[in-house]
Structure 1
Amino acid sequence: MTVLGAKWGMPESLFWLHGRRPEQPVEFAEKQGLWNVYGHPEMAAIFQDSATFGANTARLFSELPQEFSDGNLGQMDGAEHRTLRNLVSQAFTPKVVAGLEARIGQITHDLLDQVDGRESFDLVPALAYPLPVIVIAELLGVPASDRDQFKEWVDRIFEVTNIDFSLNEGKEKVGVSIDQAMERQQPLRDYLLEHANERRVRPREDLITKLVLAEVDGARLSDAEVVSFANLLLLAGHVTTTMLLGNTTLCLDHFSKQAAMVRADRTLMPTAIEESLRMLTPFATQARVTESEAMVGDTLIPKDQLLMISVSAANRDSRTFAEPDEFRLDRYPNPHLAFGRGVHFCIGAPLARLEGRVAMNILLDRFPRMSVERPEFIQSAMMCGVGSLTVRSGG
């Protein structure tokens, strides 16, 4: 079988990041001064034990600004994380998410109307990018008409995530990268702060207003916390879905037999989406820090060590997944870690799954003979997906 990705020219360096499995599930990269984790059982245990494997990796980099941690759910653990996560989770309850289905369908149709009749088009700017941006912007209460500005900011932020932690770089370079990312986030943070200040004067029925008015232990959130919340939701809330749509399209194009089964039986679409999340994991790498000396598999790791976790490799661990390089619609259960696990399980996962299911079904309805013509993969050590995906409409 042709290696998924090689068919379209995915760079060899990205194969390793996006699924190649080293022989050892845990190894120390002496040159870089950090630990690489590749195994699924080892990674699942790490995600489930936030007391031992903390999310606050920023504490290893004293030069980072405080704003990086304030209100940043991805850098919190314990009671503080639980309290603030409960605030945001109100916007992602099953009832709220289910109520968005019709709106997601409407946006999808409106976007595809603009490319209807074309022989070929780029799926990313046509659908995969704007759909989740519009949805999350409407939830937050910021104008979806600003999505081009969002894209410019996001592109500049993710330009500095192109670090191959396991092969070339170490903790010092990680710290520099985070510092650069914070600098590039500033325009977006300023923009969100302006909206937050406006809500204090004129509240609305949106998530930014809920954050501004929320109290934790009798105290309102600080400006930095409100902005970090909104920033995280705006970035992670659309990037995952953008890559999910592109990656699912790639998988269905590559595995034609399974694609035919999905077209014939749309109840298989959620299964296809889960399998694409496993095979081409959007956020391919995550980081943790040891809060105490800990065992990871058979390896003892000291306290205060940086762990770079290759989720993409874990999702193809043959110890957990039979035929890991096959796209299987009968894979049940499918315990992939694309959305994490434990207390840091992706809060927007239900929305991403809904957007994926609705958009992919409409896409197949409107372009039943669609095929991939040319993908361009994001050159990032942290993410697996396409920045551009030219498809032929097939009719």
Structure 2
Amino acid sequence: MTEPVALTRHRDVVAAAQDAAAFSSRASHHLHVPNGMDGAEHRAFREIVERQMTPQVVAGLEPMLQRTAQEVVAALPRHQPIDAVGDLGEVFAVRAQCRWLGWPAAVEGELRDWMAENYAAARAADSARNAEVAAWFDRIVAAQVAAHRDMAPYEQQTAAERPVDATHRLLEERVHGRPLTEEEIVSILRNWTAGDLGSLARCVGVVVHRLAERPRWQQRLRMLARELPAQSDEFDAILGECLRLDDPFVANKRVTTCPVTTPSGQFIAEDTPVLLDWTAANRDPDVFSPAFDPHGHAAHNLVFGTGPHVCPGRDLSYAELRAVTAALLTATALISPAEGRQPVRHEPPLAGWAQLPIVLG
């Protein structure tokens, strides 16, 4: 198998991400809706995904996200070490996701168990183990789809009875004039859930680590948290800069459909696997200064990608991260590193923090 070519320069990564014709997203033999699709097929399925995450939908979810975050933070002990990733990030990610999707609280424990095994399988780089973990997750998703299908048919319910969760909305969607297949529905939900759970928990870890280590920025964000939603733009810019500096979204795969020369002069032959290295691109010294500069760096920040495959859940992700960060800051006077306990990084291919001991005061 040809070794993948890693693109690390910001301009090369941007050019590849924006050129879906030369850098195809069909880099896997498995169905990935819509991430593993190109062209018209990608656009048709992406429209479905985007309808579930419009600004109006996200705005409607924000009160639930805020309540969930406050509930999780209120349950955390004070003045003793906790793990910001496991005790806060993972719990919030799973609970908020289940409520958005309309899944029962009973599935939260299984999803957290799955997350732990998924991390372990990724670190082991064992294809058989990864396949087992993927199959396990598909069973979790398929069971929830079946449970939603077993409810009364949509057209037989009154407007007040019709559920508004994302899983039900997805079951009502059409593509090319037909209902989505079971495999397509499971793939979309897998993408949302498997992709969001771990990544949101890692985002929480990255943000909390930076705030715990830098009290001045912690106090600035705490002040802004008390003035939300009026200060959402500055609040989100600071969150984005934290993620740029310690990007939890490492890379995406592409494969070239023709010979390509990148803007920096790197030649790549046809049918070559390529890695878009977001982490390296987000630290390119030709683009970013060494300073922590939320507004100055925002226009070039690639945490959520760029081009036709830019993350459709960007607004939802910011709403989730804003809710949990604001809840944590407004409920505390100080977040500090736990004395005598060292944080632990995720091992490749993952990024961010696996464990982050902190103390809430």
- TM more than 0.5: yes
The 8 Å contact of residues 73 and 327 in structure 2, kept in 1 or not, is answered as: no
Letter in 2 for 1:285: A
Question: C-alpha displacement at 1:220, in angstroms?
Answer: 2.1
| Structure 1 position 36 matched with structure 2 position 30 | no
Say whether the 8 Å CA contact 2:25–2:253 is kept in structure 1: yes
Q: 2:310 aligns with which of 325, 345, 352?
A: 345
Q: Aligned partner of 1:234: which letter?
A: T
Please report how far the alpha carbon of residue 127 of structure 1 lies from its aligned counterpart in structure 2 after TM superposition. Answer: 1.8
Comparing 110-119 with 49-58, greater Cα deviation is found at 110-119
The answer as to 2:215 corresponding to 1:245 is: no
| Structure 1: stretches of 5+ with no match in the other structure | 1-30, 60-67, 164-172
Task: Give, as a single letter, the amino acid of the residue that structure 1 aligns with 2:108.
Answer: R
Find the aligned partners of 1:209 and 1:358 in 2 and give their Cα distance.
Answer: 24
Letter in 1 for 2:313: G
Query: Which consecutive residues of structure 2, in runs of 5 or more, have no partner in the other structure?
Result: 154-162, 226-230
Contact 2:203 2:248 in 1 (8 A): yes
For the residue of structure 1 that corresponds to 2:337, the secondary structure is strand
- Which residue identity is paired with 2:282? N
The equivalent position to 1:335 in structure 2, one of 300, 317, 328, is 300
Q: 1:273 aligns with which of 213, 236, 239?
A: 239
How far the C-alpha of 1:32 sits from its partner, in A, is: 6.5
Separation in structure 2 between the aligned mates of residue 330 and residue 87 of structure 1, nearest angstrom: 32
Aligned equivalents of 1:294 and 1:334: distance in 2? 26
Secondary structure at the aligned position of 1:80 is classed as helix
Q: CA deviation at 1:199?
A: 2.9
Tell me if the contact between 2:256 and 2:271 (Cα under 8 Å) persists in the aligned partners. Answer: yes
SS in 2 for 1:74: coil
Separation in structure 1 between the aligned mates of residue 84 and residue 253 of structure 2, nearest angstrom = 30
Count of paired positions: 340
CA offset at residue 369 of structure 1? 1.3
Equivalences for residues 223-242 of structure 1 within 5 A: 223-242=182-201
Q: Distance in 2 between matches of 1:321 and 1:251?
A: 18
Aligned to 1:184: 133
**Which piece of structure 1 moves more, 246-255 or 265-274?**
265-274
Per the alignment, in what secondary structure is the counterpart of residue 100 of structure 1? helix
Instruction: Give 1:3's aligned residue.
Output: none
Whole-Å separation in 1 of the counterparts to 2:297 and 2:178: 45
Supply the AA of the counterpart residue of 1:201. D
Aligned counterparts of 2:219 and 2:101: Cα–Cα separation in 1 = 38
Cα distance 1:276–1:295, how it changes in 2: closer, same or farther (>3 A)?
same
- Structure 1 distance, partners of 2:223, 2:164, is 41
| Residue 311 (structure 1) aligns with | 278
How far apart, in 2, do the equivalents of 1:50 and 1:274 lie? 25
Shift of 1:332: 4.5
**What's the C-alpha RMSD, in Å, of the aligned pairs?**
2.2
Q: Does 1:292 align with 2:292?
A: no
Distance 2:85 2:298 in 1: 30
Superimposed CA distance per residue, residues 299-352 of structure 1 (whole angstroms, 9 cap, x where no aligned partner): 2211110112221111010111122xx323452444111111111111211111
Aligned equivalent of 1:362 = 327
Q: Distance in 2 between matches of 1:206 and 1:293?
A: 45
Q: Tell me if structure 2 keeps the 8 A contact 1:376–1:387.
A: yes
Contact 2:84 2:208 in 1 (8 A): no
CA contact (8 A) 1:112 1:126 kept: no
Give SS of 1:331's match. helix
Helix, strand or coil: the match of 2:302? coil
Aligned-partner Cα distance in 2 for 1:258–1:205: 38
Structure 1 pair 102–32 and aligned structure 2 pair: CA distance change class (3 A):
same
How has the CA–CA distance of structure 1 residues 88 and 144 changed in structure 2, closer, same or farther, with 3 Å as cutoff?
farther
Distance of 1:285 and 1:375 partners within structure 2 = 23
**Quick check: 197-206 or 149-158, which moved more?**
197-206
Does structure 2 retain, via aligned residues, the 8 Å contact 1:35–1:305?
A: yes
C-alpha distance after superposition, 1:185-218 (max 9, x if no partner): 1122122222223333325433223333322122
Larger mean Cα displacement after TM superposition, 200-209 or 293-302: 200-209
The aligned counterpart of 1:378 is 346
Report whether the alignment pairs 1:52 with 2:17.
Answer: no
Cα distance in 2 for partners of 1:104, 1:124 equals: 18
Deviations, residues 37-79 of structure 1 (Å, cap 9, x unaligned): 11001101111111111111115xxxxxxxx21x532211111
Other structure's SS at 1:57 match: coil
> Deviations along 1:153-191, whole A, 9 cap, x unmatched?
22222333338xxxxxxxxx8xx64x6423311122122
1:89-143 superposed Cα distances (whole Å, 9 cap, x missing partner): 2221101111222211211121122124342222223221121222222222211
Q: Is the 8 A contact 1:57 1:75 kept in 2?
A: yes
Contact kept, 8 Å, 1:245 with 1:356, in 2: the verdict is: yes
